[in-house]
Amino acid sequence: MLHEDVVGRIRAILLDGEIPPGARIPERELCERLQISRTPLREALKVLAAEGLVQLLPHRGSRAAKLTDKDMRDLFEVCQGLEALAGELACERISDAEIGAIAAAHDEMVRHYREGDLIQYYRGNRAIHEAIVAAAGNPALAGLYTSVTARIRRARYVTPMTPQRWALAVKEHEAILNALQRRDGAGLSHILRAHLRHKREEVLQAGFAEMEASDLGLRIA
Amino acid sequence: MLHEDVVGRIRAILLDGEIPPGARIPERELCERLQISRTPLREALKVLAAEGLVQLLPHRGSRAAKLTDKDMRDLFEVCQGLEALAGELACERISDAEIGAIAAAHDEMVRHYREGDLIQYYRGNRAIHEAIVAAAGNPALAGLYTSVTARIRRARYVTPMTPQRWALAVKEHEAILNALQRRDGAGLSHILRAHLRHKREEVLQAGFAEMEASDLGLRIA
DNA sequence: TTTTACATTTTTGAATGCAAAATTTGGGAT
DNA sequence: ATCCCAAATTTTGCATTCAAAAATGTAAAA
């Protein structure tokens, strides 16, 4: 089972920022590193290109996809739409157990907020959004969501999280959980859109910068 | 430039239903037919698998993706979400010229409706929805939309379009155009969701059946 | 007659090889 | 010294080849 892993491993390399956006992807080097020949590597690159993580230039090799400001805005919009949809669907289908799990994750996230642990907060935040998408019970939706968030996360950036913004985000999350518990699909959809719009403004206002693989792992959740 | 076309050609073969859902994809045969070797063909199959049109079974080759009823429902939901998002965005950005073009397409579609030409009606219907997505000015969104609609269209079916349903669809399209012209994003989003929900009910109620490549070309628009 | 074990054939997955295109390098002219 | 053009090298794209896994067919035993 070779080609299965290869896509995942290269995706990880890209997401880790080991190959920075816009940089050439050296086929021969990667072949040696992964101990595979060019055939499965090239197959994997084609798949990743279809996912939008890699750009293929005819006779000029492949590059790690470079996202412009516009690309980021576009992806955020799509992400927003997908999350809003997931929220609506989740409200129709989510089980009490799933709500309980999300509530627990929420409480933990709030704890990290109170402790001022931004990294753990982000992790918890991301887990909640993914749980909502999972609760929608729609694999096709989940797949697209994964793909889109991967592309967004691919472009690393540091967001200057001000206390005000952070407080707002937490407040929005309270509302998100509340809407979920009331199974208020329309309301949740609305809140999620606002939530992500704020996140987007925050990010795009700051611009985004590439970071080293050894960075703190700050990511958009 | 070979590999560019190969994906498109195989996709066309799949969309045309020449290889029915669930059927094995004979590598050797396709190679001879497309006059290419197995390497680019397999690369293309991997890409199509990432798109969801092809299933790859380890050591057992590739099959044309077979969509279950649940898969169809899921895809319709996603399509709905994407169209609703596109509608909202389009209202913010669409130019008068674009609205004019859509209005013209709408009138033509209504003409086909009056003439009872279902096939041409479907064609126009699809063109309108694609124009709205295009007017959203979001290539990432457009790409996902194309992929999702391709998968939906992949599963061919005959919808028993009753006069009532058809009339309702046309009425909804009037509302769609109206909301666009008023640039009422929220309203358009709402209408589009209802529109696609009706379409979905229509389709899933009927179930879907595979048809020959030589069929009438009835497709979900 | 049915079933199971084994050999053959086919097909898949990956490595290698080869031709074409692009990048790099070196030399000469302005 | 700089610019430009051509040869050499590298890299890409595809074809071919090779090994392994699955499918198929056959024969023997129950």
Determine contact: B193 vs chain A, CB below 8 A: no
Q: Which of A46, A51, A146, A193 to mutate to test the interface with B (most CBs of B within 10 A)?
A: A46
For the residues A170-198, what does the mean pLDDT come to?
92
CA→C1' distance for A63 and D17 (Å): 30
User: Does residue A158 have a pLDDT over 50?
Assistant: yes
User: Does residue A52 have a pLDDT over 60?
Assistant: yes
Q: Which residues pair with A63 in a beta bridge?
A: A24, A55
User: pLDDT category, A220, cuts 50, 70, 90?
Assistant: very low
Q: Where does residue A1 rank: exposed (0-12), middle (13-18), buried (19+ CB within 10 A)?
A: exposed
The nearest CA of chain A is from the CA of B106 a distance in Å of 26
pLDDT for the residue A142:
98
CA→C1' distance for B1 and C27 (Å): 34
Alpha helix segments (H runs only) across chain A: 3-15, 27-34, 38-51, 69-93, 96-115, 118-135, 139-154, 163-182, 185-206
For the residues A117-136, what does the mean pLDDT come to?
96
pLDDT for the residue A198:
82
Residue pair B43/B3 in contact (Cβ under 8 Å)? The answer is yes
pLDDT for the residue A181:
97
User: Does residue A217 have a pLDDT over 70?
Assistant: no
pLDDT for the residue B219:
36
CA→C1' distance for B20 and D26 (Å): 33
**Measured from the CB, is A28 under 7 Å from any atom of strand D?**
yes
To 10 degrees, what angle do helices A3-15 and A27-34 make?
120
CA distance B47 to B215: 27
With CB atoms and an 8 Å threshold, state whether A1 touches B58: yes
Domains and CATH numbers, chain A: 3-64 (1.10.10.10), 69-206 (1.20.120.530)
Protein-covered nucleotides of chain C (CB closer than 7 Å) are 11-17, 21-23
pLDDT for the residue B116:
95
pLDDT for the residue A195:
86
CA distance A24 to A20: 9
pLDDT for the residue A146:
96
Q: Which of B5, B56, B74, B91 to mutate to test the interface with A (most CBs of A within 10 A)?
A: B74
| Identity of the residue in B75, B139, B141 whose CB atom sits nearest the CB atom of A140 | B75
With CB atoms and an 8 Å threshold, state whether B140 touches A75: yes
**Digit-coded pLDDT (tens) for B3-14:** 778 999 999 999
User: Does residue A86 have a pLDDT over 50?
Assistant: yes
pLDDT for the residue B193:
86
* Closest chain B residue to A67, measured at CA: B140
To 10 degrees, what angle do helices B38-51 and B3-15 make?
60
pLDDT for the residue B203:
64
A50 contact residues in B (CB cutoff 8 A): 47, 50-51
For the residues B154-163, what does the mean pLDDT come to?
76
* Closest chain A residue to B141, measured at CA: A78
Q: Round the average pLDDT of chain B to a whole number and report it.
A: 88
pLDDT for the residue A154:
85
With CB atoms and an 8 Å threshold, state whether B148 touches A141: no
For the residues B37-48, what does the mean pLDDT come to?
95
**Measured from the CB, is A217 under 7 Å from any atom of strand D?**
no
Q: In chain A, positions 50-69, which contact chain B (CB-CB < 8 Å)? A: 50-52, 58
Q: What percent of chain B has pLDDT over 70?
A: 88
DSSP string, B97-149: HHHHHHHHHHHHHHHHHHHT-HHHHHHHHHHHHHHHHHHTT-HHHHHHHHHHH
With CB atoms and an 8 Å threshold, state whether B58 touches A84: no
For the residues A57-67, what does the mean pLDDT come to?
93
pLDDT for the residue A197:
79
Mark B65-75 as b/e (b = at least 16 C-beta within 10 Å): bebeeebbbbb
The nearest CA of chain A is from the CA of B107 a distance in Å of 29
Q: Where does residue B8 rank: exposed (0-12), middle (13-18), buried (19+ CB within 10 A)?
A: exposed
Q: Which amino acid is at A132?
A: I
pLDDT for the residue A221:
32
Q: Round the average pLDDT of chain A to a whole number and report it.
A: 88
**Digit-coded pLDDT (tens) for B60-85:** 999 999 999 999 999 999 999 999 99
Q: Which residues fall within 8 angstroms of residue B55, CB to CB, at 6 or more apart? A: B49, B62, B63, B64, B65, B66
User: Does residue A41 have a pLDDT over 50?
Assistant: yes
Dihedral pair phi/psi, residue A208, rounded to 5°: -135, 145
pLDDT for the residue A211:
38
- Collapsed DSSP state (helix, strand, coil) of residue B56: strand
pLDDT for the residue A97:
97
Residue pair B189/B84 in contact (Cβ under 8 Å)? The answer is yes
Q: Which of B85, B89, B193 to mutate to test the interface with A (most CBs of A within 10 A)?
A: B85
| Identity of the residue in B46, B141, B148 whose CB atom sits nearest the CB atom of A43 | B46
**Digit-coded pLDDT (tens) for B171-215:** 999 999 999 999 999 999 989 888 887 877 766 655 544 333 333
User: pLDDT category, A103, cuts 50, 70, 90?
Assistant: very high
CA distance B86 to B141: 8
pLDDT for the residue A205:
59
**B160 is written with which tokens?**
């028993």
User: Does residue A204 have a pLDDT over 80?
Assistant: no
Sign of torsion, CA B131 B136 B142 B148?
negative
β B61-64/A54-57 pair status:
unpaired
B52 contact residues in A (CB cutoff 8 A): 140, 143
Q: State the count of interchain CB pairs (< 8 A) between A and B.
A: 83
pLDDT for the residue B200:
74
Determine contact: A193 vs chain B, CB below 8 A: no
With CB atoms and an 8 Å threshold, state whether A71 touches B141: no
pLDDT for the residue A203:
64
For the residues A162-175, what does the mean pLDDT come to?
93
CA distance A179 to A173: 10
DSSP string, B156-194: -------HHHHHHHHHHHHHHHHHHHHT-HHHHHHHHHH
Region of residue B63 (phi > 0: left; psi between -120 and 50: alpha; otherwise: beta)? beta
User: pLDDT category, A101, cuts 50, 70, 90?
Assistant: very high
Residue pair A135/A93 in contact (Cβ under 8 Å)? The answer is yes
pLDDT for the residue B216:
34
ipTM score of complex: 0.87
For the residues B107-117, what does the mean pLDDT come to?
97
CA distance B84 to B90: 10
